[in-house]
């Protein structure tokens, strides 16, 4: 969320940013919120004036009564009463205008970084860099569910009976591999100096409003019926929410956290849920990284975060690339974002396995996350997040890139300690 002072002083910059994001329907909101803000400030100024006058006249009433000027005192009382009525009406007006300003400010997108390429949607995202040589083997790579079924490692039919499409049972070596990847990701991030967390898997609406846009919430979040609680779509929601209404000493920054959680998503939108497969599903698990830092450090941390993901995948010999998200593909709170995509030998193309985002002070402004400084006073923090790994999607990349012609799957050295020392998985079918 932008600062209303910034919008008031820079309406043309805000409008140009909206155009870059191809959200022209929001352009009238800029003038609308500036008008509401002006009306709100005028109401506050009027209240301050009336309060001052009321206090002055109230003091005079006692003096007038003491001087025997009863009629003048009664007239003064009427003025005080009228002022009280007007102040009460203005108080209601202030609340209404404050809510109108906030509602509009919540949907005006954050100012994107100058380095973000302008484009309408994800089809115009720009490749940044490739890491590792993508290989297409001479033998056929089966669909990922077929690979899992060869190990008797997945049951989609039973999951459909219990829960519907978008769910799965993992079992045996595939389930163990799933857990091994998450355990390795946890230790990988701890070794890089991040503090490990397991957060709450449900959050209140005030936190939801603070960490994401309304459109994202509608398309992602599951609401708990009858309670002010939502199932998290990613542990970033809980972890950023952890800092709500806090003031952090500069000396205690940056806060570098890595968190495990299950994730629950409606997956409403163009892609939809797969009938057969685990690429786009309602439930999965993820290891995340989160940083709260000073504004001047946020772009350095942005680059460190996506590099962590690249290093993680390359440590497992999976070729990846980074893809710069264009303006139209950025969620409204984001300043800059890139996707990490893994190579699929079967499809002979890259596919998304994680996303790194710098949100500037947008989440901090919504949630009241501030930094304490003796020199500068209190000011807003910057927040960032990035996926370390999100199986079972990562399992697709892992299985395809480590599959041998005989159907066995190689287990890279970093995972073997989590797989009971196994160097290779042997199919059962």
Percent of the chain with pLDDT over 70: 98
CA atoms of 231 and 269, how far apart (whole Å): 19
Q: Is the pLDDT of residue 215 over 80?
A: no
* pLDDT higher than threshold 70 for residue 273: no
**pLDDT of 388:** 97
pLDDT band (50, 70, 90) for residue 74: confident
| CATH 1.10.287.40 is the classification of domain 4-105 | yes
Examine residue 254 and say whether the peptide bond preceding it is cis (omega within 30 degrees of 0).
yes
The DSSP bridge partners found for residue 158 are: none
User: Which residues of the chain form CATH 1.10.287.40?
Assistant: 4-105
Q: Residues 16-30: what's their mean pLDDT?
A: 98
Q: Which of 62-66, 104-108, 321-325, 326-330 has the lowest mean pLDDT?
A: 62-66
- For the stretch 402-426, pLDDT in tens is 999 999 999 999 999 999 999 999 9
Query: Model confidence over 343-367: pLDDT tens digits?
Result: 999 999 999 999 999 999 999 999 9
**What's the pTM value of the predicted model, to 2 decimals?**
0.90
Write out pLDDT tens, residues 122-177.
999 999 999 999 999 999 999 999 999 999 999 999 999 999 989 999 999 999 99
Band (pLDDT 50/70/90 cuts) for residue 73 is confident
Higher pLDDT, 219 or 164: 164
CATH number at 122-425:
3.30.930.10
First to last CA, the chain: 54
Q: In this predicted structure, what is the pLDDT of residue 34?
A: 98
pLDDT for the residue 201: 97
- Three-state secondary structure along the chain? CCCHHHHHHCHHHHHHHHHHCCCHHHHHHHHHHHHHHHHHHHHHHHHHHHHHHHHHHHHHHHHHHHCCCHHHHHHHHHHHHHHHHHHHHHHHHHHHHHHHHHHHHCCCCCCCCCCCCCCCCHHHCEEEEEECCCCCCCCCCCCHHHHHHHCCCEEHHHHHHHCCCCCCEECHHHHHHHHHHHHHHHHHHHHCCCEEECCCCEECHHHHHHHCCHHHHHHHCEECCCCCCEECCCHHHHHHHCCCCCEEEHHHCCEEEEEEEEEECCCCCCCCCCCCCCCCCCEEEEEEEEEEECHHHHHHHHHHHHHHHHHHHHHCCCCEEEEECCHHHCCCCCCEEEEEEEEECCCCEEEEEEEEEECCCHHHHHHCCEEECCCCCCEECEEEEEEEECCCHHHHHHHHHHECCCCCEECCHHHHCCCCCCCEECCCC
Q: Is residue 270 predicted with pLDDT exceeding 60?
A: no
Find the angle CA(234)-CA(239)-CA(240) to the nearest 5 degrees.
Answer: 100
Which of 47-56, 63-72, 377-386 tops mean pLDDT?
377-386
Please give the Cα distance from 375 to 184 (Å, whole number).
42
Q: Can you give the pLDDT at residue 59? A: 80
Does position 62 have pLDDT exceeding 80, yes or no?
no
How confident is the model over 224-260, as pLDDT tens digits?
A: 999 999 999 999 999 999 999 999 999 999 999 999 9
- Predicted pLDDT at 268: 61
pLDDT band (50, 70, 90) for residue 57: confident
Residue 326 has pLDDT above 60, yes or no: yes
Residue extent(s) of CATH 3.30.930.10 domains in the chain: 122-425
Whether the Cβ atoms of residue 361 and residue 379 lie closer than 8 Å to each other: no
What average pLDDT does range 41-70 have in this prediction? 87
Average pLDDT, the chain: 94
- Amino acid 400: pLDDT: 97
Burial (CB < 10 A; 0-12, 13-18, 19+), residue 187, is middle
pLDDT at site 296: 97
Spatial separation of the C-alpha atoms in residues 206 and 243, rounded to whole Å: 12
pLDDT of residue 274: 63
């Amino acid at each position: 969320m932008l600062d209303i002072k910034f919008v008031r002083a820079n309406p043309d910059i805000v409008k140009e940013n909206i155009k870059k994001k191809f959200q022209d329907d929001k352009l009238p909101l800029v003038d609308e919120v500036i008008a509401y803000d002006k009306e709100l400030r005028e109401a506050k100024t009027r209240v301050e004036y009336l309060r001052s006058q009321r206090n002055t006249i109230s003091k005079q009433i006692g003096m007038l009564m003491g001087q025997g000027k009863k009629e003048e005192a009664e007239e003064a009382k009427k003025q005080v009463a009228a002022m009280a009525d007007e102040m009460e009406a203005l108080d209601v007006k202030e609340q209404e205008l404050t809510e109108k300003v906030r509602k509009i400010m919540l949907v005006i997108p954050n100012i994107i970084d100058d380095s973000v390429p302008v484009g309408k949607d994800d089809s115009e995202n720009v490749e940044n860099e490739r890491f590792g040589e993508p290989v297409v083997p001479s033998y056929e790579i089966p669909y990922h569910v077929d690979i899992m079924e060869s190990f008797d490692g997945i049951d989609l039919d039973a999951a459909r009976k219990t829960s519907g499409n978008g769910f799965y049972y993992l079992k045996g070596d595939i389930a163990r591999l799933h857990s091994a990847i998450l355990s390795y990701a946890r230790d990988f991030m701890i070794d890089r100096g991040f503090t490990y967390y397991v957060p709450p898997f449900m959050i209140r609406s005030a936190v939801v409003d603070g960490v994401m846009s309304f459109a994202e919430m509608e398309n992602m979040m599951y609401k708990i019926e009858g309670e002010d609680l939502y199932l998290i779509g990613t542990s970033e929601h809980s972890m950023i929410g952890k800092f709500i209404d806090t003031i952090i000493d500069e000396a205690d920054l940056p806060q570098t956290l890595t968190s495990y959680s299950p994730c629950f998503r409606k997956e409403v939108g163009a892609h939809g849920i797969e009938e057969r497969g685990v690429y786009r599903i309602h439930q999965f698990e993820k290891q995340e990284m989160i940083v709260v830092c000073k504004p001047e450090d946020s772009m350095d941390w942005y680059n460190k975060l996506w590099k962590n993901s690249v290093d993680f995948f390359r440590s497992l010999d999976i070729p990846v690339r980074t893809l710069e998200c264009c303006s139209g593909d950025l969620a409204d709170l984001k300043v800059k974002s890139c996707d990490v995509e893994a190579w699929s030998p079967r499809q002979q193309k890259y596919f998304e396995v994680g996303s790194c985002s710098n949100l500037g002070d947008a989440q901090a402004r919504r949630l009241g996350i501030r930094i304490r400084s003796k020199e500068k006073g209190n000011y807003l923090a910057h927040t960032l997040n990035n996926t370390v790994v999100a199986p079972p999607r990562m399992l697709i990349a892992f299985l395809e890139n480590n599959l041998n012609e005989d159907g066995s799957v190689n287990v890279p050295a970093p995972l073997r300690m989590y797989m009971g020392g196994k160097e290779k998985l042997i199919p059962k079918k």
